[in-house]
Structure formats: structure tokens, C-alpha cells
Amino acid sequence: MENNNLDQLCINTIRTLSMDAVQKANSGHPGTPMAMAPVAYTLWQKFLRFNPDDPSWLNRDRFVLSMGHASMLLYSILHLCGVKDVDKNDKPTGRLSIELDDIKNFRQLGSRCAGHPEYGLAPGIETTTGPLGQGAAMSVGMAIASRWMASYFNRPGLELFKYDIYALCSDGDMMEGISGEAASIAGHLKLSNLCWIYDDNRITIEGNTSLAFSEDVAARFVSYGWNVIRIQDANDLESLECAFTIFKNTGDMPTIIIVKSHIAYGAPNKHDTSAAHGEPLGEEEVRLTKKNYGWPEDAMFLIPDGVREHLQSGFGKRGSESHRAWADMFENYRREYPGLAGQIDMMVRRELPEGWDSGLPSFSADAKGMATRVSSGKALNAIAKNIPWLMGGSADLAPSTKTLLEFNGAGGLTKENPGGRNIHFGIREHSMGAILNGLALSKIRPYGSTFLIFSDYARPAIRLSALMELPVIYVFTHDSISLGEDGPTHQPVEHLASLRAMPGIAVIRPADANEAVEAWRVIMKMEDEPALLVLSRQSIPTIDRTKYAPASGLAKGAYVIADAAEGTPDIILIATGSEVSLCIEAYEKLRKEGIRGRVVSMPSWELFKRQESSYRESVLPPEVTARVVVEQASSFGWDRYAGPQGIIIGMHSFGASAPEKDLRRWFGFTIDNVISAAKRLLNKA
């Protein structure tokens, strides 16, 4: 009976901390933390393997709060469980991950308790969640990573990696299409280390879910190949414990536990629950609810005696003992398999093994050349041979995006072969991006590919990659109207501009085969930033690097690839990707007419902006105002480099369905048009 009382005391402490934080902030969602407190408590106290003293332990279970609006549930748990803070090198800082003052300053500037959980603010926050469905989908990536690491690193008697992933989901998560994509692939791969807990409270911001949602979620997940468990009351601790035990003993499919709850527990009007979902309860309602719990009605942020000690005796003791046994095993592993242990160290620190870039190809000058998607694929395969934890795939387009790893031992990642390195995401761009984030959060170095036009479907996940500073690699091919006959639905126009507008991501569009190789050199060294590689479908000339500047200039984002023989240039031609060779041809014709030109290859605005101003001005001298920019994309944003006097040859409409040569001629991407623009500027001057 005493333990039962302590269980309820801990649950009510989670509830009241959540209520008080939301009320003090006058902002947030108290209902879900209150309703799900028994679920989170049972999971953390009885099942989750997590050492509060070392929250970066590699074999810890992961808890993902996909319903990010219920953030106070996570913050309360982290504080009460005594999870410690560590620095970027995983060294203890001497404070808690979430202090009580952080909770008191919920949703305020500088608090670790942001409105939705933000990865990097505090240990124990495994990922940034908020956009519904993203956390659930990322948990699939984490589950794939756990199985891959077990397959690659574990040895008989030395099972270093065998951790589970739990994701707490809402009605909103179930409605978002990304969760269906992710659940489908999880079922296909039989990810038995994955458990979703679905809070079936039938409430969203607008009211009861019956307004828009009437499907049988259980039947849907059965069809996906999941084990489905139903619990009729979120307060039934015995049934919750039984459900988690069933998950632990299920070895051939993922599990979803559907939990019925009442979100507005304690609300005076039981029929109107929407306010409790998206707004503070109000001071009077907080007092009434606390009275119902047997709580001091006016006490704020109260943590009764015995709560922390009880959690330490369960959650804390189990986690520290598990971690201690694992650490001893890892020492034995390090002695027996020093090479593999060293790889784990490098993977965790996001370091590259010695010789990681050996075997990278270089390409001779060739007027016909090759598509940058082809040269990129060759570079990817060369690098992946040397970095075992570099893995990924495509949204059903690997043969076209050239992202299939084809060397011996790469293999496909399947339910039978969890150690494969080619992931077949299916036509699921949205969940692919989120799964890549889950892999990166697990220290895998992931890449994913599709056509640039379909970056629209992956964009929310790309944004989270940038927000979390994860080194995810996005390989987007078919980069312009030059893909031809497929027409406007497949021809990206505004995509480069919109992706360049996103903070914290490097967009790179290489000019030829050798720039594509150099792009991989740059990307692989990025430890805390996603990269977006934009590649051509069509063959483009391989530039003669004995005549023009070396492709290594790509590392600076922009460089002078061809220049006037002497003196300041009269005109600067700026381009990216396939349009660079076009500008070089125009430059050569202008040179023959006695016009001093310069061609600047600018594969990456972001990399260029990071250079010293002296370098930037050496590439684009301010005094040279006659500039022509050429790119088969929206001209939006290029005025910063073209300048007020410059001309931008870009796209001002969607494309058209026609052969590539006809499209380039129709939209003005010709040598003659570039020369004409240059002469108009010079005549003005």
C-alpha cells in the first residue's frame, strides 16, 4: 500500500508541476501532461533503461515526446528523476538537466523548458518535437539505428547495443500523414524494439476528434504489421505495466499501446475539454484540481518528501546498475575488439577515420562530361567504403539519384538483414527525412535522396535537421528545367531560393563532376550542420582544370574559375551548377572580342558567406558593377550578388514539357543570351 501511495504521489507531482508551470507562464498545454502522467511515470519508473548520472550512455533507451505540446510532462519527469546535465563533451556540469527554476520559467527567454522540447537545450531531450508526427517518425530512425549498431558492433557475449525506443503520440500524430508513412516502414522492417504509446483522448484544438477523425486506428496498425494493445484507462497502472511487459517480450513486430485518457481531468465543465488542451486551467481550476488530489491548494511547484527518493530507488537504481554492467562489458569489448571500439568512439564524436577520402575519383576534361548525379554517386561509394556508419537510401529513386551503395558488403537493410547500408524508404519522402534525423541523433551518418522537386515533401524534416544542427546529407537530383519532358510538375524553380532561405543548412550545387567530388569532401567534414547537394540529371561538361581554376575552390562557396588575363575585369559572369560551363563558353567568346571577363562559380551561398570579407571582395570586386547571374531557377535573392546594375538570367515562371535543348533556348539559357546581357551592361557603362 505504501508503494501504491508513493506511485500516486509521484504521478500527482508530475501533474501539479505541469499545471503550475503552465499557469505561471500563462501559456501552454496542461491537459495532456496531467492525463499522461501515469503512463510516463510507469514507463520511466519500471521499464526505461536510462542512467540519470550519464544521460549520454550509448545503450540507453530513448524516450521521444512526439506530442511536443505536452513538453511539461517531459520536463517534470527529467527534473524529478534527477537527470544530470553534461557539456558538449558529455562531462558533468554539476547541475541538473532541468532545474526547478527552469520549470518556473517555462516558455520564458533563456529557460531550458521551451514551449516544445528542443534538442540540445538539456540532456534527456532526445529530439526536437512540436510539428506533429515528426517525433514518431524520428523514433523509427532511432529503432533502425539501434538494430544496425547491434548487427555491426555486437559480438557473442558482448551485446553492446540492445536499446528500445518509446514514443508518446497524440491524436494529432495519428492524423498527420508522416506517422502513417513511418508506421508502414516500421512494420515492414519488423522493428520490435519500437513502442509507440498513443494517447487516445479524442481531443484536438477545435474540439472532439469526431469532427474530422473516425478511422479505426487499431485496425490500421494491425494492417501495418504492428502488435496492438489497448488500455481503457490511463490511470490503470497494472494494465500499463502489463502492456510494457508484452512489448518487451514481442520479438517480431513493433508495438503500439492505445491508451484511453480524459484530457481535462479536474475541469469544472467535463464536456468542454478544449480549453484544458491548449490553455492554462486558470487559478481557480488549479486550486480545485489540487484539492481533488489532496494537495495543498495554494502550494506552487511543490515536490513532496519521498518523491525524488522513490524515483531514485526505481528508475535511478535500475539505470545506474545497467550502465555499470554495460561499462564493464565495454571495457572487455575494447580489449578484444580495439578496432571496432575505436570506430564507436569516432562515430560518437562524429570524427572521420584516417584515409576516409582515399579512393575519391577525379575526372579529366570532357566536353560531353557526365551528370553530377553520376559523379556524386561514384564519390559516395568511395567514401562509404571507408566509413562503415555512413548509410542511407532513396525514396524509391536510388537508380536515378545514383545513391545505391554497390560495393561488396553494403547490402540492403531489411528485416532479415538489419546491418545493411542501403535503406529502401519507398515513396515516403516526408518520413525519409525524419528517419534520417533519427539516425543522425543516434550518431549514424545518414543520407537520403530524391528529386529536388520532391524536397517539398521532405521540407519539415529538413528544417528540423537544421534546427537540431544534425549532419544529415540530402542528395537532390534532377535539379532544373533541364530534366526536360517530365514538365513543370517535376521541374524545380523556386526550390533553391526557398532552401537557401532556411537558416543553418548548406546548399551546394556543383558545376561539374569534379566539383561534385569536392562537395563530398566538404560535406563529410560538417559535424553539426545538414547539407543539401543539388545535382543534375543531364550530362554537363567536365571543365578542363588545367586551363581553369581547380575544383577545390568549391570549399569557399564561390571562386574565380576563369579570369581576365590582366587588369580588373569589365564584366563578371556568376553561375552555379550546369550554367557555369555555359558562362565559360560565353567568357571565351567575349575574350576573343577583347572584353575582359571573369567567371565565378558559386556553388554555395552559405559557404561563401562564411569567408572573410577580403576574400569575398577579391572574388566579386565592389567596383565591378557589370554582372550577369545565370541559374535555371527563380531569380529571387540573386540581387545581392548581381547588384543594382546587374542582370539575372533566371526563371520567372514554371517550366514546360519539352526536350532539354528546346527548354534552354526558350527560357534564355544560351551562350548568345548571356553575351547579349553582358554587352547591354557594358554599353550602359
Tens of pLDDT, residue by residue over 624-655, are 999 999 999 999 999 999 999 999 999 999 99
Q: Give the pLDDT score at 3.
A: 65
Who wins on pLDDT, 661 or 2?
Answer: 661
The secondary element (H helix, E strand) that includes residue 296 is: none
pLDDT at 539 over 70: yes
The C-alpha atoms of residue 286 and residue 266 are separated, in whole angstroms, by 8
Contact present, 395 and 388 (Cβ < 8 Å): no
Its pTM stands at 0.96
Contact present, 628 and 647 (Cβ < 8 Å): yes
The C-alpha atoms of residue 279 and residue 19 are separated, in whole angstroms, by 10
The C-alpha atoms of residue 673 and residue 343 are separated, in whole angstroms, by 53
Q: Give the pLDDT score at 268.
A: 37
The C-alpha atoms of residue 395 and residue 390 are separated, in whole angstroms, by 17
For residue 23, count other CB atoms closer than 10 A to its CB.
Answer: 19
Q: Which residues are known catalytic residues? A: 429
The C-alpha atoms of residue 174 and residue 86 are separated, in whole angstroms, by 34
Interior/surface letters 583-604, b for 16+ CB within 10 angstroms, e for the rest:
bbbbbeebeeeebbbbbbbbbb
Q: Give the pLDDT score at 277.
A: 53
- The chain-wide mean pLDDT, for the chain, equals 95
Nearest to 426 by CA among 681, 116, 188: 188
pLDDT at 266 over 70: no
Contacts of 578 (CB under 8 A, 6+ apart): 372, 479, 480, 482, 511, 536, 538, 540, 632
Q: Give the pLDDT score at 271.
A: 32
**Percent over 90 (pLDDT), the chain:** 93
Which residues, in sequence order, are bridge partners of residue 191? none
Q: Give the pLDDT score at 274.
A: 36
In a 13 Å sphere around the CA of 100, the CA atoms on its Cβ side amount to: 11
Who wins on pLDDT, 273 or 373?
Answer: 373
Q: Give the pLDDT score at 275.
A: 39
Residue 656's identity, in one-letter code, is A
Contact present, 139 and 256 (Cβ < 8 Å): no
Nearest to 311 by CA among 1, 19, 7, 20: 7
The C-alpha atoms of residue 275 and residue 294 are separated, in whole angstroms, by 23
What is the DSSP pairing of strand 207-208 with strand 203-204? antiparallel
The C-alpha atoms of residue 340 and residue 388 are separated, in whole angstroms, by 10
Report helix, strand and coil shares of the chain as percent, to nearest 5: 45, 15, 40
Residue 202 phi, psi (nearest 5) = 60, 30
The secondary element (H helix, E strand) that includes residue 515 is: helix 513-524
Residue 615's identity, in one-letter code, is Y
Grid cell in block for residue 461: 524534416
Q: Give the pLDDT score at 631.
A: 98
pLDDT at 278 over 80: no
Domains along the sequence of the chain with CATH? 2-324 (3.40.50.970), 366-541 (3.40.50.970), 552-684 (3.40.50.920)
What is the DSSP pairing of strand 92-96 with strand 84-86? antiparallel
Contact present, 190 and 227 (Cβ < 8 Å): no
For residue 350, count other CB atoms closer than 10 A to its CB.
Answer: 15
